[in-house]
Structure 1
Amino acid sequence: MKIAFYGSSLLSSYWNGAATYYRGILRDLAGRGYDIIFYEPDAFGRQQHRDIDPPIWARSIVYPATIEATRAVLAEARQADIVVKASGVGVFDAELLDGIVEHARDDALKIFWDVDAAATLDEMRRDPSHPVRRTLPDLGMVLTYGGGPPVVDAYERFGAAACMPVYNALDPETHFPVAPDARFAADLAFLGNRLPDREARVETFFLEPAAALPERSFLIGGNGWETKPMPFNVRHRGHVYTAEHNAFNCTPLALLNVARDSMADIGFSPATRVFEAAGAAACLITDAWEGIELFLKPGEEVLVARDGRDVADHLAALTPERARAIGEAARVRILAEHRYALRGAQVDAIFKTHFARRREAA
């Protein structure tokens, strides 16, 4: 079957945290025989900060960020059996969503794949004319990056024919243990772009512990932090390319994961970084969120913090030996239960079930 996928970027993770998620799932689907075309706009400097070359397992089409070019690539949706519009493309999102409904064949499966469901649902509650809310009756299903039962229930109340979470996972061929790299040496490191609904939690869970532990070293990677006032013992690294993630994860004593405000409220939405860190056998300290035990066991496979004081306490008590034990336990768990091969199998089953039901109905 042919998939036309309209997303933010497959080639670049620059201001695009979903890149590794797309790569992991789509590469596995390609291995299962799907013919995939990924359409991404040339926007936000992503093409100037590519992490990968165009892959052999998907055809990559980069189009100008204009309405004329957007309409041209949407016309190609008619050739696909499955047409996907992902959230957060950042350029003509509403037109892309309306366009897949307009241009996809009647017998095609039309999907909205939400990689930021909490934010989308909040927007839909506030805006009855929201594009997703308006087009739900014309879509075959909604897939989400996570969210669990609260997100599924919310989408179904808005009228989605079906909503299923497809969680982040680990691609063990991309994220794995490597030798330490002095560029990323620190006691605690955090990687994430500066976003309005993340900044306050970074202040609480990262900058406050740094101020409380002046004798320890802290490292922050990601875009946007260069203008943020920080304690003297925090270094800012800037954008960290996907190829550098393993070294970034393996070098510090511990890594910090902080959910954005909206995702922390909903729970059941572990970030890509959680799986990347576990794949590298890193010791992860995470803020508390509902459902974490479904992915990692607190105290043995991950350290959980309710606030900045907990982060500081965990770090003060952490030895290199315990950090290695926690990281290796996390790696074993994630490899067994949360690889992208398993997510690909899940999505493949979802697609096949949909088309089998359609044939039965016909």
Structure 2
Amino acid sequence: MKICFFGSSLVSSYWNGAATYYRGMLKQIAALGHDITFFEPDAFERQAHRDIADPDWARVVVYPATSDGWRGSLDAAARSADMLIKASGVGVFDQELEIAVAALPSRTLRIYWDVDAPATLEAMANDPSHHLRGAIPSYDTVLTYGGGDGVVSAYRAMGARDCLPIYNALDPETHFPFPPRPDFACDLSLLANRLPDREQRVEHFFLDVALELPDKSFLLGGSGWETKDTASNIRKIGHVGTGEHNAFFGSGLATLNVNRDSMARCGFSPPTRVFEAIGAGACLITDQWPGIDHFLEPDREVLVAASGAEVAGHLGALSADRAAAIANRARARVLSQHTYRHRARQFNQLFFGSSSRIEAAE
């Protein structure tokens, strides 16, 4: 099957939190015998901040971030694709692409893959004239990387023919335990770009905790924090490329996940960072959101905090031995149930049914 995929970027994680998800999913979909072409715009300096070369499991087409650029790429994709996927959040000409893909002839399977369903559905609910209200019923299926039954019901109410969550997961070939690095040593780390709908939660769950625990050390990675006033026990190191994620997550006593506002409200939306950190052998503390127990067992495989005070409580009581035990149990759980190999087989069975390639891998 020839699959053409329009997304933000496959080769750069710069201001692109979906990169890990795309890489993990598409590599494993390709391993099931499908031919993948990934179309991405030359935008947001991502090509200047590539952190992987073009992979051998997908062809990467970088097109100019212009009207002619996306139109030419879509024309080429439509001529060859058996399945054409438009992901949310490409960043340039999203509306035009989403409308154009929906209008393609029905001989091409058209998929809308929403990598931020809570935010998309919120935008649609707040705007009766939102373009996706008219486009979504023309897509054959909507896939999301989170959201649970609430997202499925909301998309169906918006006219989707079908909707299925395909959650984030772990690629154990890229995220695995790595020797600690002294420059990443800390009591609590956080890797998160500075975004308007997450900044206040980062303040409550991380920055305020550092103020409360002046004897602990904190490490903040991600773009945009350079101008943010923080406590003296927080080190800000800026963008952390994917090649350094294993060392980043594995060098501290624990690492923190903070969901964005809409994802926390919606629940069932574990970001890529959850699985990256656990794959790297980290003890994870996460903000509380509905559905966390669908993926990890609280207090045994993950520490869950409903407030900054609870983050501080977890950190203050956490020994190195307990952190290691939590990390080991979480990694075993994720490897057994939540890898991209599991997710790709779910994708394949959804569209193509059982195949000999899948049966041979059992």
TM range (shorter): over 0.9
**Correspondence for 1:173:** 173
Task: For residue 131 of structure 1, report the CA deviation from its aligned partner.
Answer: 2.1
Provide the secondary structure at the position in 1 that maps to 2:229.
coil
**Correspondence for 1:307:** 307
Report 1:121-140 matches (<5 A).
121-140=121-140
Report 1:277-316 matches (<5 A).
277-316=277-316
Q: Quick one: distance in 1 between partners of 2:270 and 2:137?
A: 29
Q: Is the 8 A contact 2:207 2:231 kept in 1?
A: yes
1:61-88 per-residue CA deviation (whole Å, 9 max, x = no partner) reads 0011011111100101231010000000
Pair 1:203-2:203 in alignment:
yes
1:151-176 per-residue CA deviation (whole Å, 9 max, x = no partner) reads 00000001000000000000000000
1:305-343 per-residue CA deviation (whole Å, 9 max, x = no partner) reads 110000111111111111111101100000000000000
Task: For residue 98 of structure 1, report the CA deviation from its aligned partner.
Answer: 1.7
Give the aligned residue type for 1:208.
D
Task: For residue 280 of structure 1, report the CA deviation from its aligned partner.
Answer: 1.3
Give the aligned residue type for 1:284.
L
Pair 1:113-2:113 in alignment:
yes
Provide the secondary structure at the position in 1 that maps to 2:249.
helix
Provide the secondary structure at the position in 2 that maps to 1:256.
strand
Q: Quick one: distance in 1 between partners of 2:57 and 2:105?
A: 24
Report 1:230-245 matches (<5 A).
230-245=230-245
Structure 1's consecutive aligned runs of 4 or more residues displaced over 2 angstroms after TM superposition are none
**Correspondence for 1:83:** 84
Pair 1:338-2:338 in alignment:
yes
**Correspondence for 1:33:** 33
Task: For residue 353 of structure 1, report the CA deviation from its aligned partner.
Answer: 4.9
Q: Quick one: distance in 1 between partners of 2:58 and 2:125?
A: 35
Q: Quick one: distance in 2 between partners of 1:265 and 1:277?
A: 22
Q: Quick one: distance in 2 between partners of 1:264 and 1:236?
A: 24
**Correspondence for 2:68:** 68
Give the aligned residue type for 1:274.
V
Q: Is the 8 A contact 1:3 1:37 kept in 2?
A: yes
Q: Quick one: distance in 1 between partners of 2:351 and 2:131?
A: 24
**Correspondence for 2:94:** 93
Task: For residue 101 of structure 1, report the CA deviation from its aligned partner.
Answer: 2.6
Q: Quick one: distance in 1 between partners of 2:313 and 2:6?
A: 44
**Correspondence for 1:229:** 229
Task: For residue 224 of structure 1, report the CA deviation from its aligned partner.
Answer: 0.4
**Correspondence for 1:54:** 54
Q: Quick one: distance in 2 between partners of 1:106 and 1:133?
A: 19
Q: Is the 8 A contact 2:102 2:136 kept in 1?
A: no
Task: For residue 193 of structure 1, report the CA deviation from its aligned partner.
Answer: 0.4
Q: Quick one: distance in 2 between partners of 1:59 and 1:232?
A: 45
Provide the secondary structure at the position in 2 that maps to 1:149.
helix
Pair 1:275-2:275 in alignment:
yes
Task: For residue 107 of structure 1, report the CA deviation from its aligned partner.
Answer: 1.4
Report 1:141-152 matches (<5 A).
141-152=141-152
Q: Is the 8 A contact 1:171 1:340 kept in 2?
A: yes
Q: Quick one: distance in 2 between partners of 1:60 and 1:105?
A: 24
TM value normalised by structure 1 = 0.96
Q: Quick one: distance in 2 between partners of 1:136 and 1:177?
A: 41
**Correspondence for 2:360:** none
Provide the secondary structure at the position in 2 that maps to 1:38.
strand
Give the aligned residue type for 2:328.
E
**Correspondence for 2:163:** 163
Task: For residue 207 of structure 1, report the CA deviation from its aligned partner.
Answer: 0.6
Give the aligned residue type for 1:259.
N
Provide the secondary structure at the position in 2 that maps to 1:51.
coil
**Correspondence for 1:357:** none
Give the aligned residue type for 1:216.
K
Q: Quick one: distance in 1 between partners of 2:293 and 2:312?
A: 22
Q: Quick one: distance in 2 between partners of 1:281 and 1:133?
A: 42
**Correspondence for 1:321:** 321
Between stretches 93-102 and 32-41, larger displacement belongs to 93-102
Q: Quick one: distance in 2 between partners of 1:183 and 1:51?
A: 20
Task: For residue 281 of structure 1, report the CA deviation from its aligned partner.
Answer: 1.6
Q: Quick one: distance in 1 between partners of 2:63 and 2:55?
A: 17
Q: Is the 8 A contact 1:78 1:105 kept in 2?
A: no
Instruction: Calculate percent identity across the aligned residue pairs.
Output: 59
Pair 1:257-2:257 in alignment:
yes
1:277-303 per-residue CA deviation (whole Å, 9 max, x = no partner) reads 111121000011111111111111000
Query: How many pairs align?
Result: 353
Q: Which consecutive unaligned segments of at least 5 residues does structure 2 have?
A: 355-362
Q: Is the 8 A contact 1:286 1:302 kept in 2?
A: yes
Q: Quick one: distance in 1 between partners of 2:133 and 2:51?
A: 33
Provide the secondary structure at the position in 2 that maps to 1:297.
coil
Q: Is the 8 A contact 2:15 2:223 kept in 1?
A: yes
Q: Cα RMSD between the aligned structures?
A: 1.0
TM value normalised by structure 2 = 0.96
